[in-house]
Amino acid sequence: MPFPISKFLSYVPWNLHEPRKGEFDFGAGNNEFSKVLNLREFLQIAQEEDLLVILRPGPYICSEWEFGGLPSWLLRYPDIKVRTSDLVFTGHVKTYFDQLLAQVVDLQFTKGGSIIAVQIENEYGSFGNFDEIKDREYLAFIRDNYVENGIEELLLTCDSPALVGDTGSLPGYLMTANFDNNPEAQFDRLLELQPDKPLMAMEFWAGWFDYWFGTHTGGLNPENFSKHLSTIFSYNASVNFYMFHGGSTFGFMNGANKIPVFPSYLSDVSSYDYGAPLSEAGDYTEKYNVTKELIALDNEVQTFTPEQPPLNPKIAYPAVQIQEYLTYVQLINQIPLDLVTEIQTVTNMEALDINNGNGQSYGLTVYRKKLDLAPTAELQIVGHIRDVAMVLVDGEQKTQKPQGSGALLGFGFWTISNSTFTIEGAAAGLNTLDVVVENWGRVNFGGPAYFEQQKGLFEGPILVDGVELSDLTAIPLELKSNWIQGYA
């Protein structure tokens, strides 16, 4: 049984390494995540720890990560078709890969490094309907780009073959399987498709992730986890655990899913505990013990394992009394003026003319208009909100904090089209109306339509008492750490 746990998958998020078009960050930048973007050093540390690496450069990585790792500035191209052989998209992929692969080409196993394989895209068979033929020219483009940049290790694809067959693969390259149950069906299908090649569970889903307004599930229970892992070993298949250690996405890097029923859009929480063998807190779980026991049964070479370190103690921290705070108005007043833009009508955050032509990627956008409001005024947002909106008048919030999933049936959420809200109690005279829209995370999985992920307001105008508001001010609340640290 080859390397059951001595290898790991390493995703490479394009949106962090090229946060703005043509600006690359592999650890030396001044961006939110720069301190953890030294991919080369990361892979070298892996080798020091005797770990072998399966590299997943993307450009799409899924992983419940914002936009599946694609940078938001791609959405400034109105007709771009991501994850296809669209020339605009592949042109940017090539520019990025030329920079990225130069960082790792000499860290391949055949050159004395830790990289034993490189994945071509990710779950491409699930991009669209399961039974349709995918854009293999695009997959070939990625393969060719790897080769042109000196990648010589094993190239492979991953999918759930029992569902999608070989639609997300390239002829002649190793196909692997992703699943959380029924490994027999996945592996039997792989054996039909490639009888002369080894079996591998590229992603054995040890648990599952959670959504806002949902409940914690944890995915597989220990009994089913044990049963399916035993089956994997019975096929003499290699296995990667997804995830083996729970974690967190931090910041605005959570992804989301679209579904065909209400509420249609499900935003992932930042916690990624995942029901993994090692919890987000680093605790051993029953799944961890099961994994140890099953590996010991199938591993002919009994390896030395050190004594497990003790679990970290847990503590409930006392409540903290807030001594000082900044008001909403004070925060808005500290937005740099070069980020505040005048727009004729509502505009998605990515299209705002800021950040050297890259638009706004994450956070909240304030759509502001100064006008005389009646004591009772009817506000309507035409189309859908992407994703959640609050209404303030003269700095006072008029909408209420959501109380449970029932709030999704009302104003302020993505679920309702052409939703209305009654504004009451506006002071006489000129008022400042703010519609604050928060991006809850771009979709990371699904078909082509799911990747049309512009955020903010853009489907239709804002109406007050039936009159369209024009000549608005757009104020980005990007909440970048260097800006937060500069609060006064």
Q: Under CATH, which number does the domain 7-298 receive? A: 3.20.20.80
In the prediction, which pLDDT does 456 show? Answer: 98
How far, in Å, are 29, 134, 236, 409 from residue 123 at the CA level? 31, 11, 23, 33
Q: What is the pLDDT of residue 301?
A: 81
Longest CA span, the chain: 82
* Predicted pLDDT of residue 7: 64
Assign 3-class secondary structure to 81-126: CCCCCCHHHHHHHHHHHHHHHHHHHHHEHHHCCCEEEEECCCCHHH
Q: How far apart are CA 487 and CA 480, in angstroms?
A: 11
Q: Where are the domains of the chain?
A: 7-298, 328-484
CATH number attached to the domain at 328-484: 2.60.120.260
At 2 the pLDDT is: 41
Written as six digits, the tokens of 480 are 């970048």
Active-site residue, selected from the candidate residues 32, 203, 438, 478: 203
Give strand pairing partners of 200: 238
Q: Is the pTM of this model over 0.85?
A: yes
Collect the ranges in the chain with pLDDT lower than 50.
Answer: 1-5
Q: Is 32 a catalytic residue?
A: no
pLDDT at 488: 57
The yes-or-no answer on residue 203 being catalytic is yes
Buried-exposed string 36-54: b where 16+ CB fall within 10 A, e elsewhere: ebbbeebbeebbeeebbbb
The pLDDT mean for the chain works out to 94
Marked catalytic residue, from 66, 121, 123, 478: 123
Q: Residue 128: its pLDDT value, please?
A: 83
